[in-house]
Amino acid sequence: IPNTEAKETAKATDGDKSDEEEKEDRAAQSLLNKLIRNSLVNNTNQVEVLQRDPNSPLYSVKTFEELRLKPQLLQGVYGMGFNRPSKIQETALPMMLAEPPQNLIAQSQSGTGKTAAFVLAMLSHVNPVNKWPQCLCISPTYELALQTGKVVEQMGRFYPEVKLAYAIRGNRIEGGSKIQEQIVIGTPGTMSDWLTKKKVVDPKKIQVFVLDEADVMIAMQGHQDQSIRIQRKLPKDCQMLLFSATFEDSVWQFAERIVPDPNIIRLKREEETLDTIKQYYVLCKNKQDKFDALCNIYGAITIAQAMIFCHTRRTAAWLAGRMAAEGHQVALLSGELAVEQRAAIIERFREGKEKVLITTNVCARGIDVEQVSVVINFDLPLDKDGNPDNETYLHRIGRTGRFGKRGLAINMVDSEESMAVLRAIEEHFSKKIVKLDTEDLDEIE
């Protein structure tokens, strides 16, 4: 469809992506992360803890037994294959399970065990004998709320007396009746509706309030106000818990309005480095020439798995077609795919079913490339103003700390402009990017 292609190209080159689209991306990215993540991320950093009462002892646990969980919940935790608490859970769980309850703001990158932690806290706090909502959890989108619900169901598998309701659009509920489920998970709009207009949940009986994905939440229109409105209806002694993957100032300000007297836990994300990466560039004349160079590279060295980044969907699709015609097993990750489809493609690539993953930038953010030995920038990364995007460059090819295997990065340069971008990136990281002659590839083996 030429029309969308033109739009896409314009978008990519002019960078006139609307704010709305950026925000949707954030929720989609977060969902994608959840769909493709099936284990904890590695992180060797220390957890930073800021206690509300610095004089009280700081407890941290190395085992789930130490938490004195209900046997059904311990069984649920082990049933999920968890052997011991994650780094963030070591300190967050004792705080969340303390008596009297303590408020908590916790920040750590996605995949560090936040969701599992607050789900366990919710399940621990409810009294299944009481047939009314006792824990509320709000998420930025319908899909994210469902994902959290799945964790509640998994972890609560041996504790069937505890029931879960979803306050999400489409879940029609009669005003006047009361909800009996002890845990309610939903989006701010519908949740607010259930509390105030429909009055199917009594806010005064809520003991635990969780706000998940605070950074995504505040990026969405109206969610911030609605969240605050919900929080204001809850009792003073209700436990407030807030989680975020990132911590910009705006998230901070929001967090402080949602969570009074908080304990704060932070786990910095592992630094990415280019130290273990060999970086090269190839001088080309145009797109076709880049493709030929790519074929030469494939002809000369053995590449187990490669990720190739293109600037636009259009180039990505073109390249995927050309490489497939050359007999490569190619997967194409593209913006118009639904998040679930993207997750399936990434999963297949991870399993090695495809050897080449061609993608545009938007889609690739958040993908772990640890197993990928070769990354090719078919186009160099630019930010939305068209300037060299160092951060994205690092994220595409960088490896984290001591877990990183060695890698190879190849940049395709086809104009004075892209050469200038390359030089700027080289300078920024003070790491030489070596010229590669694709007619003579002995040096990279």
Q: What residues make contact with ligand ADP under the rule CB under 6 A?
A: 37-40, 80, 82, 85-86, 89, 110-116
Shortest CB 70 distance to ligand ADP, Å: 17
Nearest distance in Å: CB 113, ligand ADP: 4
Of the pair 118, 281, the CB lying nearest ligand ADP is at 118
Q: For ligand ADP, which is the closer residue by CB, 61 or 283?
A: 61
* CB closer to ligand ADP out of 107 and 360: 107
Q: Which CB sits closer to ligand ADP, 332 or 346?
A: 346
Please report how close the Cβ of residue 39 comes to ligand ADP at its closest, in angstroms.
5
Nearest distance, CB of residue 268 and ligand ADP, angstroms: 14
Q: Are 157 and 73 in contact (CB under 8 A)?
A: no
In the numeric block, which tokens belong to residue 43?
Answer: 């992180």
All residues at 6 or more sequence positions from 422 whose CB lies less than 8 Å from its CB, including other chains: 281, 380, 411, 413, 433
The answer to whether 241 and 103 are in contact (CB under 8 A) is yes
**Which residues make Cβ contacts (< 8 Å) with residue 97, sequence separation at least 6?**
67, 121, 124
Task: Give the CA dihedral 117, 122, 123, 126, nearest 10 degrees.
Answer: 160
Q: Read off φ and ψ for residue 443, nearest 5 degrees.
A: -65, -25
* Residue 189 or 366 with smaller CB distance to ligand ADP: 366
Measured from the CB atom, is 150 or 322 closer to ligand ADP? 150
- Cα 1 from Cα 437, distance rounded (Å): 37
Token pair 């910009």 is at which residue?
248
Closest CB 77 distance from ligand ADP, rounded Å? 8
Q: Which residues contact 67 (CB under 8 A, 6 or more apart)?
A: 61, 93, 94, 97
Give backbone dihedrals phi and psi of 278, rounded to 5 degrees, phi first: -90, 125
* Beta partners for residue 239, in sequence order: 208
Using an 8 Å Cβ cutoff, are 279 and 347 in contact? no
Residues near 415 by beta carbon (within 8 Å), at least 6 away in sequence? none
Shortest reach from residue 102's CB to ligand ADP, in Å: 19
CB of 273 to ligand ADP, least distance (A): 23
Q: Shortest distance, CB of residue 315 to ligand ADP, whole angstroms?
A: 32
For ligand ADP, the closer CB: 40 or 300: 40
Residues 6+ apart with CB under 8 A from 427: none
Q: How far is the CB of 332 from ligand ADP (least distance, A)?
A: 26
**β-pairing verdict for 356-360 and 104-108:** unpaired
Shortest Cβ distance from residue 440 to ligand ADP (Å)? 45
Nearer Cβ to ligand ADP (38/253): 38
Burial profile 34-60: b = 16 or more Cβ within 10 angstroms, e = fewer: bbbeeeebbbeeebebebeeeeeeeeb
Closer by beta carbon to ligand ADP, 82 or else 159 = 82
Closest Cα to residue 418, out of 327, 306, 227, 283? 283
Q: Which is nearer to ligand ADP, 210 or 410 (CB)?
A: 210
